Amino acid sequence: MKQIVANATPIIALSMIGKLDLLGELFDEIIVPQAVYDEIMAGKGHRAYGKAELKYAIDHCNIKIYQVKNQTMVQEMFGRLHKGELETIVSAKELKIPYVLIDEPDARKLANTLLLKPIGTVGFLSLAKQKGKMQVLKPCLDELIAKGFRLSKPLYKKVLNSVGESVYGQ
């Protein structure tokens, strides 16, 4: 069974472009720590992306909320990373799930240090394209960027090239 623990930013980003369902197509079970769930549900206005999508996925799909047991570890490291990022990493360790869906570079470094396998939003979308779950990646990346997702031009080009797409279209 393929499982992944997801942080807020990728859930929000995938919701922004209508691709949250891809998580369920690539993973049998998606774990969302309580702090991540709370962060998404607290979003207001234009930052409310993901609320309805996450609620639906919890009720109808394979997304489950997880309450971290080792809150001491989360509290000791709080400040270096946000609570959601920390709970994502600690949840993966507690549940012995190797994969974490997390975008923030410092959180990814910590995940690597703890022998987890982090993947970000862009890497996840690239994986979905490679696995045949979507036909083209470029429109998704373009929509993310248009909605405020930060993606460097070199990474944008590199990812598109890696899946056989051109920066200039098909």
- Dump pLDDT digits (tens) for 40-54: 998 776 567 888 888
Pick 74 or 115 by higher pLDDT.
Answer: 115
Confidence of residue 1 (pLDDT cuts 50, 70, 90): low
User: What are 5's strand-pairing partners?
Assistant: 31, 100
pLDDT of residue 47: 62
Q: By C-alpha distance, which of 123, 165, 166, 125 is closest to 143?
A: 125
Give the list of residues 6+ apart from residue 69 with CB closer than 8 angstroms, or none: 94
Tokens of 22: 């891809």
Confidence of residue 166 (pLDDT cuts 50, 70, 90): confident
Alpha helices in 70-137 (DSSP H): 71-77, 83-95, 105-113, 121-130
d(CA 163, CA 122) in angstroms, rounded, equals: 12
Question: Hey, which CATH number is domain 3-122, 3.30.200.20, 3.40.50.1010, 3.40.50.300, 1.10.260.40?
Answer: 3.40.50.1010
Whether residue 93 has pLDDT greater than 80: yes
d(CA 147, CA 18) in angstroms, rounded, equals: 12
d(CA 37, CA 77) in angstroms, rounded, equals: 19
Q: Per-residue pLDDT averaged across 86-92, rounded?
A: 95
pLDDT of residue 46: 57
- Dump pLDDT digits (tens) for 57-84: 888 888 999 999 988 888 877 777 889 9
pLDDT over 70, % of the chain? 96
Q: Per-residue pLDDT averaged across 2-24, rounded?
A: 94
User: Residue ranges per domain, the chain?
Assistant: 3-122
Minimum mean pLDDT range among 9-18, 44-53, 101-110, 126-135? 44-53
pLDDT of residue 170: 53
Q: Per-residue pLDDT averaged across 141-161, rounded?
A: 93
